[in-house]
Structure 1
């Protein structure tokens, strides 16, 4: 059922609005929705009254396509005005509660029929209109109460939101502080990692450079290597001044003042137009000779006295302080390496002079040719205890000896000379090679209990065609027969000379004919680290057997060189080499 009202005045509009509110209340529409719907309807009717003319409000309940019910209101001008184009109809709807929808538990049509008269509020009945308005005020009060509750709820949530915002701000502040602390920690970690990497790089360079400097025992080579190590990574220019190696002592080269001061004071000096601030280094004005670049002048110190001064200029504008500390340490190690090399060279020269003096001229014996070679080692001290000797005894026989004292250097050379002298003294008495080695063994054990030696002694007698020999821990002699066959005299030898053992070294005798050649040698000729001594002895035997009898009769010296060359094809030798050839003329 629908209801219609004619609206000509404000009173009609108020009565229609009140009736619409009562109809919405009858159908169970909640007060808030009802008040909102009635307010919208009232506002539209005010607009219609402002436009003027007569308007009709039609209210009714209808069903929708989806089967739901709704309260429908239409505000329109009279039909004849609409036909003439005056005014525009306006309509609004509000959904009904479930119980009041068509087909629900209630019966909206019957209720509307029974109470339709009560919905019609005459505009000329003030009492009825007032009751309707009072009823609308009740809805308004309910809406206001709900609004107050919502305002209180909004205020509560606003306070809660404020507290939450404060907590969020505090959390953001903490997160920001934590972020800054984390960034600072990351930066500190990167800095520490970079510093550790730089320290590792410096230590690695220092270790590698020290190894390079200490591998050479030639002080000139060490001085030449210093610039190669430092340029261009740690220095743009490097100059090494050794005090005792001036090109012209009477006209010395001009040196920077800081270099001279470092030589006089023994302290590192830094000459530049700005303070260096380097630990353990004195600041000086810029050098007159090199005003355009800083100079770091570090003395080359030793345990005894300064050797010279190392002067460097930086690869960039200045050095890193930690790099400077590393350079000072490298210079200290370089000074020690140069000093050790000089001391080594001095001892080597003394030992080599002594050893050369002891290797005397070989004697001349009718029917017997002698040729000897001595080559020092190319590594280390270059002077060892290898020696050879040949001399006549009072009975006319010839003693040929070759030996090797353990160790290298001046001490080994001195002990070799003492053994050589003792052997010559013992050989004055009538003693066989075995007895001579036995006496040398006792002599060495008493003289130097911790020093050992090896030796081979051979005796030739002009009236006999025999060779008597004895060995003590030494590589066996090699005998070439006149027909070119070669034998290794490997009869049981004695033990090394000087070991803590009582021994009597035996003699061995071989028949020799004219044209025979005996080769005595030290282990440096035949021993190689990778293969031992036996292959070297086989090569020596093959080389000795390759000569013809006439070649050995006429050119024993040349034969000695031809034996050495293939056996010493390597330019580097770790040990001394001695070779003594004894050839019976054919």
Structure 2
């Protein structure tokens, strides 16, 4: 088909000359026609041709173009790239007030799409910007899922997509219903992530509005793709982290619970761990540790240290001896990571505890009356540093119904307060949450310390209560 038959006017002549000069592939019209349909008729011809000729032949060549008779969604990404090049083309001369407002609005949309990795929060911000700019009176965002389109705009309530929104997703092109409803697909590369649904109550959408809606949808789709990737990776990291945590020992004389909370910032696998197990001599061993850094390397070292501490303790080594052996293991690995750890042994028959710490925050003990004290005794250095550690070991007796808490520094450290303030807050939280089962108390303490705020580090909390020596069965 000739250029003159496909297009008309000065644009046809300009494109024909570009083909004859070899600046455009001869079979590009099937794609170009779709792109040109959505353009503002006022777009200067020179800008159209210049933008089209910026596409290299490998992107818009004969081998990648479908035939004119078969129109497939695979062309959508190339159509969109061309359309964005044209709609975002700067206008020669002094910009009008509308051009300035458009650029400022799109900059706000770009910032909103890039500054939050929470998809719901990001979409809420974009929807608010669309309405404040009066591009639409009602805005909905539909997320594409395996079960179809689902509304991702919190304020929209429980609504279902209509035919217009579904058609926009399937065709990957904007669809209008009358003059006051516009549905634009959210396209990121070859993936259709959803639909941006716009509705006006008292006026219709102009060609400029459609062009602006496509630009908003493109920026939103990129932000949505980043948010989805972050959320997926964060979920996988959490699942892997929890899969590596052990099952806790269950004993009549011992009530025990543990919680792990991943950092709310960033996507990583942390190096925090906890463990609790019993020996055949009637001793329960509690350990909590924290490997420096994050990521796969930290997770691998964490698993090694957790298993090594368990093995040494089961062999009968005491807290200090177990930590020294783990230190040597970490030194021999010649890695660049270090760790802190604390080991506590509880003799169930007597309530005697032994503990040792290698650079870790001190255990907390709460007696039956509710008084809270820290076992802030002398401790050894971090595990893995280049020296022979001296790790002292300490003893103390518990009274029945006393509780012992081990935790990682993520529970008490905050950017805006020092460590002493964090430890004081933790002691107060234990005093306030003294009643109830251990599992309930553990959740309450975490809520007191973390609340609903973001925290920069992973958090482990291991809490146990010694109920007293087991009583022999009375016949």
**Could you state the TM-score of these two structures normalised by the residue count of structure 2?**
0.61
Of Structure 1 and Structure 2, the greater helix share is in 1
Number of the residue aligned with 1:507: 392
Stretches of structure 2 that go unaligned for 5 or more consecutive residues are 1-91, 151-159, 469-475
* Aligned pairs (5 A) from 1:136-535: 194-195=95-96, 201-231=101-131, 233=133, 235-236=135-136, 240=141, 242-244=143-145, 247=148, 254-255=163-164, 259=168, 263=172, 290-292=177-179, 297=184, 299-302=186-189, 305-308=191-194, 310=196, 318-320=206-208, 324=211, 330-365=216-251, 367-381=253-267, 384-406=270-292, 416-444=302-330, 449-462=335-348, 466-481=352-367, 485-498=371-384, 500-515=385-400, 516-535=402-421
Number of the residue aligned with 1:567: 449
Superposed CA deviations along residues 287-311 of structure 1, whole A, max 9, x for unmatched, are: 6x62436958455114x64434546
Aligned-pair CA distance for 1:390: 0.2
Aligned-pair CA distance for 1:530: 1.8
Residues 413 and 422, structure 2, Cα contact 8 Å, conserved in 1: yes
- Cα distance in 2, alignment partners of residues 517 and 313 from structure 1: 60
- Cα distance in 1, alignment partners of residues 182 and 149 from structure 2: 24
Superposed CA deviations along residues 40-71 of structure 1, whole A, max 9, x for unmatched, are: xxxxxxxxxxxxxxxxxxxxxxxxxxxxxxxx
Aligned-pair CA distance for 1:400: 0.3
Superposed CA deviations along residues 471-503 of structure 1, whole A, max 9, x for unmatched, are: 2332211233566554322233333345x5234
- Secondary structure of 2:381's aligned partner: coil
Residues 435 and 505, structure 1, Cα contact 8 Å, conserved in 2: no
Residues 382 and 576, structure 1, Cα contact 8 Å, conserved in 2: no
Which fold has the larger relative contact order, with Cα–Cα distance below 8 Å and residues 6 or more apart in sequence? 2
Residues 347 and 410, structure 1, Cα contact 8 Å, conserved in 2: no
Stretches of structure 1 that go unaligned for 5 or more consecutive residues are 1-190, 264-268, 271-286
Aligned-pair CA distance for 1:462: 4.1
CA distance 1:259–1:370, change in 2 (3 Å): closer
* Two-structure CA RMSD over aligned residues (Å): 4.2
CA distance 1:457–1:332, change in 2 (3 Å): farther
- Cα distance in 1, alignment partners of residues 323 and 219 from structure 2: 47
- Cα distance in 2, alignment partners of residues 403 and 578 from structure 1: 9
CA distance 1:435–1:344, change in 2 (3 Å): farther
CA distance 1:477–1:239, change in 2 (3 Å): closer
Number of the residue aligned with 1:130: none
- Cα distance in 1, alignment partners of residues 166 and 368 from structure 2: 76
Decide which of 466, 470, 474 is 1:584's aligned counterpart.
466
Aligned-pair CA distance for 1:257: 10
Aligned-pair CA distance for 1:441: 4.0
CA distance 1:203–1:367, change in 2 (3 Å): same
Residues 344 and 381, structure 1, Cα contact 8 Å, conserved in 2: yes
Residues 300 and 310, structure 1, Cα contact 8 Å, conserved in 2: no
Number of residue-to-residue matches in the alignment: 364
* Aligned pairs (5 A) from 1:539-558: 539-544=425-430, 555-558=437-440
- Cα distance in 1, alignment partners of residues 446 and 133 from structure 2: 46
**Could you state the TM-score of these two structures normalised by the residue count of structure 1?**
0.51
